[in-house]
């Protein structure tokens, strides 16, 4: 049996960008509206560097200690760092000081800590509110019925800028079913804007459902496996 060569990162990046482009055309959207974020949890600094040399500038990390080591090794590169993992209260100072975006704010308390701990010498920290669009007990996120109160409270904080909403729907292979929670998140964002907010970001869609997310208005897709390949299993 012929053994096919592994995809290079250049090939993976070109394939992901092609998928995004095709989905944008299908949705009648401008490609420039959609930002590709490399979800680099568990990946090496060398892998991030390789993708950065290919033109990718946005990378998302889940753990502050892992991210700190990578930032140190990649300090010579112009990278926009996004925190996309679950936030522990004792980690907010590091997040506030060293990241450019935070996608996983799930309560006002966390936003207040990020606001207080963002240095005056830094631009406002960009925030997305994570929404539990499918009411999954195992997942973090603001319930939709509490979203308005939480969003308005965060939007008034100094040192941070509420940019939009984020969601991680449950895994699903049916394309139409994939679209529904993304459509719900878009509707929630639009409703908040009708209430006077100015949210421009929908952080939604990963390797398995990015096309559905783009069709429903995603402005940022968080792609891990399709860019880096499967993470090595522990042990």
What per-residue confidence (pLDDT) applies to 119?
87
Select from 122, 103, 127 the least CA-distant residue to 37: 103
Blockwise average pLDDT, block size 10, the chain, 235 residues: 59 97 97 97 96 97 97 97 96 97 97 96 96 90 96 98 97 96 98 98 97 98 93 45
| Residue 61, SS3 per DSSP | strand
**Residue burial 110-119, b: 16+ Cβ < 10 Å; e: rest:** bbebbbeebe
pTM above 0.85, yes or no: yes
Q: Domain 9-228, what architecture?
A: Alpha-Beta Barrel (3.20)
Residue with tokens 């990020």: 114
Instruction: Specify the pLDDT at position 138.
Output: 84
Closest CA to 41 of 231, 220, 219: 231
Domain segments of the chain: what residues? 9-228
């Amino acid at each position: 049996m012929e053994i096919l060569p592994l995809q290079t990162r250049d090939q993976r990046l070109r394939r992901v960008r092609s998928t995004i482009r095709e989905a944008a055309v299908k949705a009648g959207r401008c490609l420039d509206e959609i930002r590709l974020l490399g979800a680099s949890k568990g990946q090496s600094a060398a892998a991030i560097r390789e993708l950065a040399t290919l033109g990718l500038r946005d990378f998302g990390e889940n753990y502050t200690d892992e991210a700190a080591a990578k930032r140190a090794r990649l300090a010579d590169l112009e990278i926009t760092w996004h925190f996309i993992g679950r936030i522990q209260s004792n980690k907010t100072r590091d997040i506030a000081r060293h990241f450019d975006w935070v996608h996983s704010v799930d309560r006002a308390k966390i936003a207040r800590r990020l606001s207080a701990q963002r240095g005056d010498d830094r631009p406002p920290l960009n925030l997305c509110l994570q929404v539990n669009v499918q009411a999954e007990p195992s997942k973090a996120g603001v319930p939709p019925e509490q979203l308005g109160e939480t969003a308005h409270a965060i939007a008034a904080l100094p040192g941070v800028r509420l940019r939009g909403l984020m969601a991680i729907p449950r895994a699903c292979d049916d394309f139409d079913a994939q679209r529904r929670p993304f459509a719900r998140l878009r509707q929630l964002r639009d409703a908040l804007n009708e209430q006077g907010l100015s949210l421009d970001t929908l952080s939604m869609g990963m390797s398995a459902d990015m096309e559905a997310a783009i069709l429903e208005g995603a402005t940022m897709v968080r792609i891990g496996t399709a860019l880096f390949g499967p993470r090595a299993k522990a042990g």
